Structure 1
């Protein structure tokens, strides 16, 4: 088969949608080398996370002929190139499909990660929200198949967009294999020294924005015995609110914020943590939770979206507005080593459900069915 991908995020985005795109492209190319995979991107940007492209001869990168009007090319003009290249299936990896795909004779798939802009509209400007809504509604209407990255996302698509459930298939996302490798003591010591990490710490990873709800964890520190918190993630204005609370409550010295952590150092940081906390109010899947489980770290996450799907039955969960319950669960993990070790063992076992070979097989079966 010749399969085309909207690879913009793979080339130009280093966080969630980019991670998903790179994972899927790499996994499908590695496990199914007999096909050709065309990566369509409006431009190419040097990115160390794309080093795998040179390893697979079945990956072909396509850019538009002109550097002008690249947005139009991605949203409509690309269809001509798909026909030229003999693409049989085109997969939009981030919520959208180009106009005219449904009339091109090319089968189409779209991945919907979440409907956050509909569930939490206050987090988006009205123009951005309308654009997202129009793109998602169109893609779900014309796609032959929709991939939802969690059952929660599938339920939201059915409820909020009225899409037929038969059209939607849940295929989870896996993590970069780097998180499944046990780091050596030398690697851990190097990361600890590089980022000046304390001997013990709680860890939270993710963009520091209101939806991620870091303030809940800041509030919980008041009720937890002295242990530092390390936060890894890109800052936004929300960080000022978190720091103001920490300062007002004499907790600022217990928080360390790292905004420029190299991706290669993340596994060691995870594996050094005493517990991983992810109090997000809403996620499409919650990949950092799965990264933590694979790193052998006990997880506490918030209820209300899909994090139970990512964390499994042996992680702990709290209401995203209950800092005292969060503090109690943190204290429980820190004080009960038997519980902690059981959570680690069960978490590793649960994480095996998201192995790359299993998920890429589901994806390839979807393509074959089309």
Structure 2
């Protein structure tokens, strides 16, 4: 089987969609090595170069020109004999020739419909049109959670039978045990507290970091935040200064994947009170790191966290505060939940996901 991928995000996105794209191709190339995997894009980058070294993965330089991704990439995949074209980020090419090819699209979330206040009018219209068109054109759709599947049915009016849920995993670094020397080096480099709670993700309204800062206000619990700052950060900064919390909250940027994996393992608690997610990869990363998770009881987050994570109302700072303090003060409860969470997260390992993907592709063919 020859499978072509829209590799724009594979090569040029550092997080979210890029990580999904790279992990999907990596695990397929390892666990389904008899297939050929074609990465189509106008150019490549250093990202994912170790995956390109696999003998069954090939970069295909696609046609140049304006809108070539929409108008020419599909035909390029057909020209190279692909059996399946997989759009990894909610989009499919608009133009194809008459040669047979099956079309698959992964849809991660429809947050732009659920939370329009986070997007401009123009972006909402463009996103909706692209996702709707891709969903209608695709032979089958992959949703990364049951929540996303429900949203595709509700908002894009796509039959449920056309959609399969296949969860995503996370980077291998979170599943490995770093050496004590490396762990200590990371702790020293970033001046991490002896004990701390951790939050990871872009610092934006939807991720709801301000609620975490409010929840720990008046406690002695240190918070470490790893993520890119947006305009929303200024709200948090004002609250921190007003309440003299500068020494309690540490912000980190430019952290490598291996360093981030170490920071997860060093944390006592991972807190992720997002209002809405398509899936919530940081929750999976924390569970693989054997770090107890406190997250929202909304959207897909209970799917990612399992029954032994701690769930809070993201609109209720007092609920979060009480549960954080309880877990912080109870080592035996933390250990119990860490072990149970680690058992649960094995379903998101590479091999079972690769098997699901191959079953999905083979059904289409």
TM-score tier (shorter)? over 0.9
SS of equivalent residue, structure 1 residue 61: strand
**Runs (5+) with no aligned partner, structure 2:** none
Once the two structures are TM-superposed, the CA of residue 250 in structure 1 deviates from its matched residue by 1.8
Partner residue of 2:306? 312
Structure 2: distance between partners of 1:296 and 1:64:
42
1:113 aligns with 2:108: yes
SS of equivalent residue, structure 1 residue 174: coil
Structure 1: distance between partners of 2:98 and 2:110:
26
Q: Which of 195, 199, 208 is matched with 1:200 structurally?
A: 195
**What are the equivalent positions in structure 2 for 1:295-334 lying under 5 Å apart?**
295-334=289-328
SS of equivalent residue, structure 2 residue 193: coil
SS of equivalent residue, structure 1 residue 215: helix
Partner residue of 1:46? 46
Structure 2: distance between partners of 1:60 and 1:20:
18
* Residues 6, 91 of structure 1: 8 Å contact kept: yes
Structure 2: distance between partners of 1:150 and 1:220:
29
Normalising by structure 1, report the TM-score: 0.96
1:64 aligns with 2:59: no
SS of equivalent residue, structure 1 residue 253: coil
Structure 2: distance between partners of 1:338 and 1:105:
58
Partner residue of 2:244? 250
**What are the equivalent positions in structure 2 for 1:133-172 lying under 5 Å apart?**
133-172=128-167
Normalising by structure 2, report the TM-score: 0.97
* Residues 221, 251 of structure 1: 8 Å contact kept: no
Spell out, residue by residue over 1:12-54, the C-alpha distance to the aligned partner (whole angstroms, 9 max, x if none).
001100000000000001111111110012221222x432321
Spell out, residue by residue over 1:206-250, the C-alpha distance to the aligned partner (whole angstroms, 9 max, x if none).
011111110110110125x30211000011111111111111122
SS of equivalent residue, structure 1 residue 146: strand
Segments ≥4 residues shifted beyond 4 Å? 101-104
SS of equivalent residue, structure 1 residue 198: coil
Gap change, CA 1:321 and 1:104, over 3 Å in 2: farther
Once the two structures are TM-superposed, the CA of residue 324 in structure 1 deviates from its matched residue by 0.9
* Residues 211, 281 of structure 1: 8 Å contact kept: yes
Partner residue of 1:291? 285
* Residues 79, 104 of structure 1: 8 Å contact kept: no
Structure 1: distance between partners of 2:271 and 2:96:
42
Partner residue of 1:23? 23
* Residues 75, 95 of structure 2: 8 Å contact kept: no
**Runs (5+) with no aligned partner, structure 1:** none
Gap change, CA 1:165 and 1:200, over 3 Å in 2: same
Once the two structures are TM-superposed, the CA of residue 335 in structure 1 deviates from its matched residue by 1.2
Q: Which of 71, 83, 86 is matched with 1:88 structurally?
A: 83
- Count of residues in Structure 1 that have an aligned counterpart in Structure 2: 364
**What are the equivalent positions in structure 2 for 1:166-315 lying under 5 Å apart?**
166-223=161-218, 225-315=219-309
Q: Which of 309, 334, 348 is matched with 1:354 structurally?
A: 348
SS of equivalent residue, structure 1 residue 211: helix
SS of equivalent residue, structure 1 residue 288: helix
In angstroms, what is the RMSD of aligned CA positions? 1.2
